[in-house]
Amino acid sequence: MKIVFLESHLVTLNNDINYSKLEALGDYSAYQLAIADDPMPYCEDVDIIIAHKMHMTRERISQLVPKLKYICEAATGYNNIDIQAAKDYGVRVTNIADYAKYSVTQHIFALTLAFATKLREYDTAVKEGLWQKSNTFDLLLYPTFELYQKKIGIIGFGSIGREVARVAESFRMKVLAYDIVDISKSGYKNYSIDDILRESDIVVLCCPLTESTRNLIDEKAFKKMKRSAILINTARGGIVNENDLANALNSGLIAGAGFDVLLKEPPTEGNPLLDNEVKNLIVTSHSAWSTRESRQRLIDWIADQIKAYINGEELTYIV
């Protein structure tokens, strides 16, 4: 079978990833396309497409069948693929669900601890010479807090959400979990989103971006949260209304937010969270998933899925 990876460069940093498992599958080609590029010339007569962020629309899928048989999403989220179109045309789709759960969880707590310890603020104060001028052994300018006994609300309790819960337990936090499916076998109670918003000290978004989660966290949601609450989003930008978040932070409706995702990435046309001096906000560049270990795991698991598909073995298909 002919296999193409449309955006292989998005997984590689300074040639640090080994692609040998993919290359061993046979007729494999890798390209470095941007989202704005037209992928169609690279997909002619292709059986399997590996896509990362490239939009696989109904129009594109319709032009590639019946030769196209399988799209492998090289990520957890698959909102860039028209799933209904793939179903209508008989194209199988899989994603890679668990590869980044340790990396993303690590990033979630890095953001959380930055707020808890005022890490950025104290680093800046020391570099500006304020500690050197202190008349005591320390410099206490900013209120900090312990995670111990705080409530962490996790919206979306899949593999990443459950790993966040496991780490939160090590801080002796109380976990409030929510998912659209039954999570009773996980050992956690399924709280309502309203209960999570009202009770949590830290709210973490681990859910996919769907029509039901788009703008899930908006002005009404912020008004339900504690004024001391911190919102962490490493999932998808569209889950939170960015204008409402900027207003909530600037007006003190919530105490802070740590974001690794934005509605449009990269934010070439501006963004309300970046264009103004929004208070108590940390933004990173969709990098939570990107440890070397995570990226190598992604490539290896893509190869395993494609090999299983070629051999007719059982896979967990989205469609």
**Positive or negative, the Cα torsion across 111, 266, 297, 153?**
positive
Instruction: Give the strand order in the sheet containing 27-30.
Output: 27-30, 2-5, 48-51, 70-73, 92-94
Report the distance separating Cα 96 and Cα 310, nearest Å. 17
**Three-state SS at 299:** helix
Q: Would you say 54 and 75 are in contact if contact means Cβ atoms under 8 Å apart? A: no
Rounded CA-CA distance 165/148 in Å is 14
Residue 56 bridge partners (DSSP): 81
- What residues are annotated to the active site? 236, 265, 286
Segment holding 28, helix H or strand E:
strand 27-30
- Asked if the bond preceding 66 is cis, omega within 30° of 0, the reply is yes
Cβ atoms within 10 Å, residue 287: 11
Closest CA to 216 of 206, 229, 202, 226: 206
Q: Which token pair is 229?
A: 């609450």
- Classify 293 as helix, strand or coil: helix
Q: Which amino acid, one-letter code, is at 232?
A: I
E strands in 158-242: 174-178, 202-205, 230-233
Specify whether the CB–CB gap between 240 and 214 falls below 8 A.
Answer: no
Q: Helix 101-117 crosses helix 119-127 at what angle (to 10 degrees)?
A: 60
